[in-house]
Amino acid sequence: MTQGTARVLSGPPAAAALLDEARRRAGRLPAVPHLALVRVGEDPASVSYVRGKAKKAAEVGLSSHVHALPDTTTQADLLALIDQLNADPAVSGILVQLPLPAHLDPAPALLAVHPAKDVDGLHPANTGALWNGHPGLRPCTPAGIMALLAHHGVPVRGVRAVVVGRSALVGRPLAGLLLNADATVTLAHGATPDLGQVTREADLLIVAAGQAHLITPDMIKPGATVVDVGINRVPTEDGKGRLTGDVHPGAAQVAGALTPVPGGVGPMTVAQLLMNTVIAAERQHDQLLTSEVPGEHVR
Ligand SMILES: NC(=O)C1=CN([C@@H]2O[C@H](COP(=O)(O)OP(=O)(O)OC[C@H]3O[C@@H](n4cnc5c(N)ncnc54)[C@H](OP(=O)(O)O)[C@@H]3O)[C@@H](O)[C@H]2O)C=CC1
Ligand SMILES: Nc1nc(=O)c2c([nH]1)NC[C@@H]1CN(c3ccc(C(=O)N[C@@H](CCC(=O)O)C(=O)O)cc3)C=[N+]21
């Protein structure tokens, strides 16, 4: 078996295509779609992600507002804000940035977001729709990964896919999307014995474990497509630190195609969030139009 250098599955061009579509579809709506970004506390990564999301929203012609709540926010304060955003017809989408400070329970907050405005796709109504193969809003990172694969012409139908990580945000919903796209799916996690034996089965290996360089070259089937979701900050000599993925850099010598970190899945997550905001606004608009027809209930 000759070894080469994996094809790079770059995020920014695929994200640009998704953002173009979001911009085009937003422009067809009578009102500018609006994204409400809810952040509690000052976790530096969350501050930076939310800022990035708001900036990109403006670039595609969406309006957004960052609701920055103090660390002292109570569960009741948070739920009251979500209720207010649910009731506001000008708000198309609501995102509650995770993780929340330790004194707040994320589950009630995610349940409180109206499913039609749940652009993170984390409400049980949307996760249920995903697992049943029904329409609904899909979680941004998993949906962004599917768009990235499609953009680069990576087949999913009929392939052996292994997902490492089972979080509600990434691994679980990704397994559902891969299944809906007719992959044969294995979901591995922290209690999986001999992880390498499982990952070596994969033609498509997607890693979302949050462990820097967990996946070493020997754990990859030669020629496989590897998607690295991990964002790990590692210290550098200049003290600034840098981002690295869950996949060891040596994987490029074994894999057939590989996503970089940064510049792979991250930009897709943000682009998909804005696409989801446009989809939510479109459906809310359709709903309004149909509800204007007296006596007719078509949806
Ligand atoms: N690029 C992007 O847009 C995004 C990137 N991320 C990044 O992706 C990574 C994962 O995020 P998230 O899913 O939220 O993380 P979580 O910490 O919520 O979940 C991690 C998952 O990985 C599993 N895991 C951890 N260590 C191992 C191991 N040694 N072997 C096998 N499985 C393991 C855990 O297993 P168990 O369940 O058994 O504990 C768990 O299911 C992080 O680095 C995060 O920063 C997240 C969201 C978006
Ligand atoms: N409710 C909720 N929804 C989320 O979607 C969500 C969340 N909470 N909490 C945290 C994770 C993480 N996340 C990322 C978004 C963008 C990049 C991103 O743009 N990354 C760039 C690099 C950014 C940098 O340089 O710092 C890249 O990979 O190229 C990464 C990670 C969304 N998340």
| Digit-coded pLDDT (tens) for 3-55 | 579 999 999 999 999 999 999 999 999 999 999 999 999 999 999 999 999 99
Q: Which residue CA neighbors atom 14 of ligand 2 most closely? A: 266
| pLDDT for the residue 142 | 98
The topology under which CATH files domain 139-265 is: Rossmann fold (3.40.50)
Atom from ligand 1 closest to the CA of residue 170: 13
Q: Where in the chain is the domain with CATH 3.40.50.720?
A: 139-265
Q: How far apart are the C-alpha atoms of 68 and 66, rounded to whole Å?
A: 6
Q: Where in the chain is the domain with CATH 3.40.50.10860?
A: 30-114
Distance of alpha carbon 25 from alpha carbon 280, whole angstroms:
11
SS3 label, residue 222: coil
- Please say whether the beta carbons of 221 and 202 come within 8 A: yes
Is pLDDT above 70 for 251? Answer: yes
User: What is the position in ligand 1's atom list of the atom closest to the CA of 191?
Assistant: 38
214 touches ligand 1 (CB under 6 Å): yes
The response to whether residue 94 sits with its C-beta less than 6 Å from ligand 2 reads: no
Average pLDDT over residues 226-242: 95
Residue 3's pLDDT is 57
ipTM higher than the 0.95 cut: yes
Region 122-128: mean pLDDT is 97
Q: Binding site for NADP(+): which residues?
A: 165-167, 231
Contact in structure between 169 and 175 (CB atoms under 8 Å): no
- Please check the confidence at residue 298 and state whether its pLDDT lies above 50: no
Kindly state the average pLDDT of the residues 230-236: 95
Ligand 1, atom 7, lies closest to the CA of 230
Short-list 18, 29, 120, CA closest to 60: 18
Give the bridge partners for 149, in sequence order.
none
CATH topology of domain 30-114: Rossmann fold (3.40.50)
Q: Rounded to two decimals, what is the model's pTM?
A: 0.95
pLDDT-derived band at 279, boundaries 50, 70, 90: very high
Which ligand lies nearest the alpha carbon of 190? Answer: 1
Task: Give the chain's mean pLDDT.
Answer: 95
Q: 164-210: per-residue pLDDT in tens?
A: 999 999 999 999 999 999 999 999 999 999 999 999 999 999 999 99
Instruction: State the CB neighbour count (10 A cutoff) for residue 50.
Output: 20
Instruction: Please determine, for residue 242, whether its predicted confidence score (pLDDT) is greater than 50.
Output: yes
Residues 51, 92: Cα–Cα separation, whole Å: 19
At 294 the pLDDT is 56
Beta carbon of 14 within 6 Å of any ligand 2 atom: no
Q: What's the CA gap between 211 and 234, in Å, rounded?
A: 11
pLDDT tens figures, 261-274? 999 999 999 999 99
The residue-averaged pLDDT of 147-166 equals: 98
- Please report, rounded to a whole number, the percentage of residues in the chain having pLDDT higher than 70: 96
Calpha distance 281→129 (Å, rounded)? 19
Report which DSSP code applies to 89.
T
Question: Which ranges of the chain would DSSP assign to H, the alpha helix?
Answer: 11-27, 44-59, 75-87, 106-112, 124-131, 140-151, 171-180, 195-199, 265-291
Catalytic residue numbers read 53, 97, 120
